[in-house]
Amino acid sequence: RTPSNGGDPIHASSPRYAPDGDKIAVIDWDTDDLWVVDASSGASYKVTNIGDVYGYCWSPGGAHFVFSTWDEKLKRVPSEGGSPRDITPD
């Protein structure tokens, strides 16, 4: 199923399964934000709200994402959503 943005489907790209296989993360092609979709129910939620996600991966336990931004910084965000934290030194 395609995640929705307030009822409208998003343009999902770069799907990746969570380590436990229960969820799938995707990037919204239009906004460059990260979304998570429940693989069974299709329920979805937005993880980031910065519009700058590029090249991401789940942490081994599935609790976080690590991703790069277009300006080549590494960030970390909880898989339930929240404020991304820089992990690249200035």
The predicted-structure confidence for 48-75, as pLDDT tens digits, reads as follows 998 889 889 999 999 999 999 988 889 9
pLDDT band at 1 (very low <50, low <70, confident <90, very high): low
DSSP conformation class of 39: T
Phi then psi for residue 70, to 5 deg, are: -65, -25
Q: Of 70, 89, 53, 71, nearest to 79 (Cα)?
A: 53
What is the pLDDT at residue 7?
Answer: 67
pLDDT at 21 over 70: yes
Q: Copy the structure tokens of residue 11.
A: 């343009």
DSSP H or E stretch at residue 57: strand 54-58
What is the pLDDT at residue 80?
Answer: 95
Q: Copy the structure tokens of residue 33.
A: 């934000």
What is the pLDDT at residue 79?
Answer: 96
